[in-house]
Structure 1
Amino acid sequence: MLATIERIELLENAEGLAKMVLDSDIAEQYQICLYKMQNNKETKRKINQFVNLKELYEEVQRFGKYHPDYKRVMMQIREYKREMDLDPFVAEFKLAENDLQSLLDQISMLIGSAVSKHIKVPSGNLFFDSGHGSGCGGGGSCGCG
């Protein structure tokens, strides 16, 4: 019975933490930026243009430089990606997304280190990955073995 009560308390605390993250200024800014990006006609046009060409790009990648449209598609995909990335709403969204990811990485590190300093918490951020650049799948090169 005690284990069940402990688990319920842990789940309630986790839900409370999730609510705090959702109610944070960082999550609110993320939602605002996402809304702006999804509801601006010009931004949507740029994203759709890139996504549509990305399908052709994947087709071309199967054959590589031997595909007849290789050069044209490679040039266009770079142009469309740059145009999309330079859109102010996309750029603002990416910054907000990085801020939210950073917050989640910090929370993960705090929880993991509270359990044990030996807990590995993959964050995708080298700052938080304790110098394990290649990860523990790097053939022992991380030094944790």
Structure 2
Amino acid sequence: MIASLDLAEILEETDRLTQLILRSEEVKHYRICKQRLQQDEEAQKLIKRFVQKKEQYEEVERFGRFHPDYDRIKKEMRQLKRELDLNESVANFKKAERKLEAILIEISEKIAYAVSDTIKVPTGNPFFDQLGCGGGGCSGGCGSCGNH
């Protein structure tokens, strides 16, 4: 019974934390950027073209350089990606998304490390997550991350 009460209290605190996060300026900014991106016709056309080109790329990538259209589609994909990255709505959304992600990772780290400093926390960076070192993924054992 005591464990159930503790769990209920933890869940209540989690709900409070969630509400604080949802009311934060970063979430508000993220939502504004997302809405602007969704309403930006040029950005939506670019996204649609990019998704189509990505599907083509995945198809030819199965054969790699042996596919006759591999180099052309790869080049077109890079060009579309660059256009997307330079689009103001896309760039603003990605920036807001990265900032919010960093905050959520920091919160996750604080919670995890309050339990134990050897808990691995996904950082969103596959390089560090695979190593189990660096950023939030540090397990404390490698010594190269400088966190321990």
TM-score tier, shorter chain, comes to 0.7 to 0.9
1:111-134 per-position Cα deviation (integer Å, ceiling 9, x unaligned): 1111122222121359xx6xx772
Alignment partners' CA distance in 2, 1:63 and 1:133: 28
> Counterpart of 1:32?
32
2:79 maps to 79
**Higher RCO structure, 1 or 2 (CA under 8 Å, sep 6+):** 1
1:64-106: per-residue Cα shift (whole Å, max 9, x none)? 1111111210110011110011100000001000110010011
Question: What is the identity, as a one-letter code, of the residue corresponding to 2:41?
Answer: K
Output aligned runs, 1:47-126, within 5 Å.
Answer: 47-125=47-125
Moved over 3 A (4+): none
The corresponding residue for 2:138 is none
Matched residue, 1:143: 142
Q: Distance in 1 between matches of 2:97 and 2:89?
A: 12
Mapped partners of 1:116, 1:53: distance in 2: 45
Structure-2 separation of matches of 1:50 and 1:133: 29
In structure 1, distance between residues paired with 2:38 and 2:68: 34
| Matches of 1:133 and 1:58, distance apart in 2 | 25
Q: Which segment drifts farther, 38-47 or 116-125?
A: 116-125
Matched, 1:134 2:144: no
CA RMSD of aligned residues (A): 1.9
How far did residue 14 of structure 1 move?
0.7
Give structure 2 stretches of 5+ with no counterpart.
Answer: 134-140, 144-148
> Could you tell me which amino acid in structure 2 is paired with residue 119 of structure 1?
I
Q: TM-score, normalised by structure 1?
A: 0.86
